[in-house]
Amino acid sequence: MNQIITGHTTLTGLLGSPVAHSISPMMHNESFQQLGLDYAYLAFDVNTTELKTAIEGLRAMKIRGFNLTMPNKNLMCRLCDRLSPVAEIAGAVNTVVNDNGIFTGYTTDGIGYMESVKEEGFNIIGEKITVLGAGGAATAIVAQAAFDGVSEISIFNGKSRSYERMEEIIEKLKKQTSCTLNLFTYESPDILRRELSESVLLVNTTSVGMAPNTDDSLITDISMFHKDLIVSDIIYNPEETKLLRLAKEAGCNTFNGLYMLLYQGAASFKLWTGKEMPVSIVKDKYFKR
């Protein structure tokens, strides 16, 4: 890369901790360069205790926008001037756009997931889906899917704080969308089996199965999967989780979380620049499968 930083260069970046491993600087700087945009994207190691101070500095420096990752997504919600409808409901922000000092918070994780479904060649609009997990990622996906027109979503999680938060989010989504939303625990395998039999797609939003615990899967009974079920995981390390391997054995189409990562970035890029990220180039360089 031979990007030249000038006196006019517009700043964007990522605030989180840790951030050094992130693929986002490569993805965005490559795209700026491909499109000839005088922008730069840097990763800043900033945790929640430092976030407010960092935001004040970035506002004074007139940053164009930035991404938030762990552990800053929830706190950022309270530091924004405005929120998108999905960010408001999810209570989390992964993208901020600065318009003349007004910081608007968005969450593009759900957009990224919905785009990845399309990219894999599937249509889930007007259909029923099942979601494993009720944390931050689940919330972003459920809210976006409900706003986009998925007709019914069944969510599974143990009884916990996440479960209670999801109950509140479901109530809000029911007021703002026509999606039917159900929340279950894992206690009865028969309920999970029934919900899956009525669903076109399953997504695992939990960390179960992520490296190094690659032998774990929330579903191990492959008779749970019908062959027309699309089984997806937001995990991309390992590339194929045990859940995806078992689903493939049952004859299901499967995909991992790599393109969700790509498309959440593409959505942020569009919000800052107004331009489409050159995803085919980015995909070839950084998201080879």
Q: Considering only CA atoms, which of 128, 127, 89 is closest in space to residue 109?
A: 89
Active-site residue set: 73
Closest approach of ligand ATR to the CB of residue 157, in Å: 5
Closest approach of ligand ATR to the CB of residue 211, in Å: 14
Q: At 19, list the tokens.
A: 């951030």
Kindly give the pairing relationship between strand 65-68 and strand 95-99.
antiparallel
Does position 71 bind ligand ATR by CB under 6 A? no
Closest approach of ligand ATR to the CB of residue 237, in Å: 13
Does position 136 bind ligand ATR by CB under 6 A? yes
Contact 96, 105 (CB under 8 A): yes
**Which one of the spans 17-25, 41-49, 136-144, 241-249 is the region binding ligand ATR (CB under 6 A)?**
136-144
Does position 72 bind ligand ATR by CB under 6 A? no
CA-based end-to-end distance of the chain: 22
CA 124 to chain centre: 17
Angle in degrees, CA 207, 163, 250, rounded to 5: 50
Does position 206 bind ligand ATR by CB under 6 A? yes
Of 57, 158, 189, 251, the one binding ligand ATR (CB under 6 A) is 158
Closest approach of ligand ATR to the CB of residue 239, in Å: 18
Does position 157 bind ligand ATR by CB under 6 A? yes
- SS3 labels along 146-175: HHHCCCEEEEECCCCHHHHHHHHHHHHHHH
Does position 137 bind ligand ATR by CB under 6 A? yes
Please give the residue ranges that form the binding site for ligand ATR (CB under 6 A): 133-138, 157-158, 160, 162, 205-208, 218
